[in-house]
Chain A
Amino acid sequence: MDLKSLAQKLDRDLSISAQLKPFGRTDQLVLEVRAADLLKTAAWVRSEESARMDFLENFSCYEFRSKLVFSYFLRSQVHGKTLILRTEETVPENERLPIPSVAAVWPMVQPFEDEIHELFGIDFTPNRGRYAAATAFPLRKTYVWESEVMQ
């Protein structure tokens, strides 16, 4: 599966323009879409015959240069290939951020979403009954962990 042709097909089928970015110094590319297009893209790469990304290996989030970066590490059990789907959002200061949940596409994402919900203050929609009480988000860069002194 060629990621460039996959991105072109995504544009043709759903009119979603995805960007291809390098992942670290590996040969692998990242398929980056807007958060608003995330759910549609996820469902598409799950069902599209040339991709068939049916297994979510990992879902991670990190904050870098005032952006929250969400990475979905996917695997096709049919083709044996991997794909990284990514979306970015600007970090709202001390506020929760809504992001579409992909649990309907990959049910195994739920524990990852639960953790990111609590530690980054992300509200995955639709809400699965997660309780959003916290006002401080430990894994955001603005959070200061008093007991940990930088060496």
Chain B
Amino acid sequence: MRFSEERLSTRLSRLSLGPIHPQLPAPMRLALDVDGERIVQAQVETGFLHKGLEKTYENRHWFASLIPTDRLDPEGSIFAEMAFCQAVEEICNIQVPRRAQMIRLVLSELNRLSCHLSYVARVAQSVGFETTSHYVLRERELILDLFELMTGARFNLNFLRFGGVAADITEGFIERIFEVCRLIQIRIKEYHALMIDNQAFVSRLSWLGTITSDDVYTYGITGPNARASGSMADIRKMHPYSGYDLMNFTVPQGQGTAGTLGDSFDRLKVRLDEIQESLHILTHAAESIPPGDYSCIRVGYDFTVPAGECFSRVESARGFLGCHVVSSGEFAPVRVQWRTP
């Protein structure tokens, strides 16, 4: 029996996902036009998780403002703490001790490792490589253990303070960093064998979800996703902070080796390369933590910030994180605005 063209419909199917769905990383609505297994077009609607964070700051003492800051991105909480503290310290003209700066840098790079490993695990899981995903999460667990050893928390660290950090380095922390860095360095080679050198894995990511350099510009994309598309922007190089100017590291870029520049494979590869760079930075920073104070002031609920404003920039694991803080000299901020990646 022969079918006429009219009877063999080739229309696209509309698939609606979310806003709440177990496979989605966060609440969002996806309206997908699919042609068989291929997504032809996607409409994304976000904003279902509005926490009212920026209004919350207006009713908080400066000291208490650090608590909601962690909730900006629970997986990468140290970056938001860093951006907020740097902005307040700039307005108050507080010189953070060198030791505290290095501790902040170490925590930042550990957090970057943790976020990137999570990303790799999520990608591995989404393409059906469950075992690889578990291997990667096993290593991330070591980073979370380090956070626990240093700060007492695994996710919402709440460890940075205006003028420094909450506590000095705990016993055995530096030694554990070297140990974990050595181990992850070995594991990275295994990840390469399991993912980058595995044609079955590569073919599921190459040529997929390409972000062009025009897209990077139009949507203001930053961080590893932009660098995978050829951008070189990295706040750690452009506006060095907290001792990054003393660190020797390169900024990995996408190459388009498996498919095209800026595809899903490049985004994964850039993160794996950044993990290696972070390991170098971590080892160097942990070796060069100077003696001295871990905080220059003790901040309590009576702490106020003089009138002024500042826009601080931090390179978070997801990209450019900016924090615009405005103070009128009173007990609470006039405005804390976040530029999220």
- Chain A positions within 8 Å of B, measured between CB atoms, are 23-26, 55-58, 60-64, 71, 73, 77, 80, 84, 107-108, 111, 119, 138-139, 143, 145, 148-151
Contacts of B220 in A (CB 8 A): 55-56, 108, 111
The answer to whether B54 and A139 touch across the interface, beta carbons within 8 angstroms, is yes
Cα distance A121–B60 when bound, in Å? 23
Contacts of A23 in B (CB 8 A): 309, 311
Cα distance A64–B335 when bound, in Å? 9
If A56-B220, A108-B218, A139-B54 are given as contacts, then 13 extra A-B residue pairs at C-beta distance below 8 Å, sorted by A number, are: A23-B311, A24-B90, A24-B308, A25-B93, A57-B322, A62-B335, A64-B335, A71-B324, A73-B324, A108-B220, A119-B54, A148-B56, A151-B61
**Distance (Å) between the CB of A128 and the closest chain B CB?**
14
7 residue pairs, one from A and one from B, having the closest CB atoms = A108-B220, A62-B335, A58-B339, A60-B337, A24-B308, A24-B309, A60-B324
Contacts of A62 in B (CB 8 A): 324, 326, 334-335, 337
Contacts of B56 in A (CB 8 A): 148
Asked if A151 meets B64 with Cβ closer than 8 Å, knowing A108-B217, A108-B220, A145-B55, the reply is yes
Chain A CB within 8 A of B13 CB: no
Chain A CB within 8 A of B300 CB: no
The answer to whether A150 and B328 touch across the interface, beta carbons within 8 angstroms, is no
The answer to whether B218 and A25 touch across the interface, beta carbons within 8 angstroms, is no
Cα distance A25–B310 when bound, in Å? 8
**Distance (Å) between the CB of A131 and the closest chain B CB?**
13
Asked if A80 meets B324 with Cβ closer than 8 Å, knowing A145-B52, A148-B55, A148-B59, the reply is no
The answer to whether B64 and A25 touch across the interface, beta carbons within 8 angstroms, is no
Contacts of A111 in B (CB 8 A): 220
Chain A CB within 8 A of B91 CB: yes
Chain A CB within 8 A of B219 CB: yes
Interface residues of B in 271-325 (CB under 8 A from A): 308-311, 313, 320, 322, 324
A-B contact pairs, 10 of them (CB 8 A): A24-B310, A25-B91, A26-B90, A57-B339, A58-B324, A60-B311, A62-B335, A73-B324, A149-B59, A151-B60
- Chain B positions within 8 Å of A, measured between CB atoms, are 52, 54-56, 59-61, 64, 90-91, 93, 217-220, 233, 238, 308-311, 313, 320, 322, 324, 326, 328, 332, 334-335, 337, 339
Q: Which of A62, A111, A119, A148: most chain B CB closer than 10 A?
A: A62
Contacts of B311 in A (CB 8 A): 23, 58, 60, 71, 73, 84
**Distance (Å) between the CB of A113 and the closest chain B CB?**
12
Contacts of B52 in A (CB 8 A): 138, 145
The answer to whether B55 and A139 touch across the interface, beta carbons within 8 angstroms, is yes
The answer to whether A55 and B217 touch across the interface, beta carbons within 8 angstroms, is yes
Contacts of B91 in A (CB 8 A): 24-25
**Distance (Å) between the CB of B49 and the closest chain A CB?**
13
The answer to whether B326 and A64 touch across the interface, beta carbons within 8 angstroms, is yes
The answer to whether B238 and A80 touch across the interface, beta carbons within 8 angstroms, is yes
Contacts of A56 in B (CB 8 A): 220
Cα distance A64–B326 when bound, in Å? 9
**Distance (Å) between the CB of A133 and the closest chain B CB?**
15
Asked if A25 meets B308 with Cβ closer than 8 Å, knowing A108-B217, A108-B219, the reply is yes
Contacts of A71 in B (CB 8 A): 311, 324
Cα distance A15–B60 when bound, in Å? 44
**Distance (Å) between the CB of B164 and the closest chain A CB?**
20
Of all chain B residues, the one with the shortest Cβ separation from A84 is: B311
Of all chain B residues, the one with the shortest Cβ separation from A59 is: B339
Asked if A64 meets B320 with Cβ closer than 8 Å, knowing A57-B339, A139-B54, the reply is no
Contacts of B93 in A (CB 8 A): 25
Contacts of A57 in B (CB 8 A): 313, 320, 322, 339
Asked if A73 meets B308 with Cβ closer than 8 Å, knowing A108-B218, A151-B61, the reply is no
Contact of B90 among A25, A58, A107, A151 (CB under 8 A): A25
Cα distance A60–B339 when bound, in Å? 9
Contacts of A108 in B (CB 8 A): 217-220
The answer to whether A151 and B59 touch across the interface, beta carbons within 8 angstroms, is yes
Contacts of A77 in B (CB 8 A): 233
Of all chain A residues, the one with the shortest Cβ separation from B235 is: A57
The answer to whether A58 and B219 touch across the interface, beta carbons within 8 angstroms, is no
Contact of A150 among B55, B59, B90, B320 (CB under 8 A): B59
Contacts of B332 in A (CB 8 A): 150
Of all chain A residues, the one with the shortest Cβ separation from B232 is: A77
Cα distance A108–B326 when bound, in Å? 23
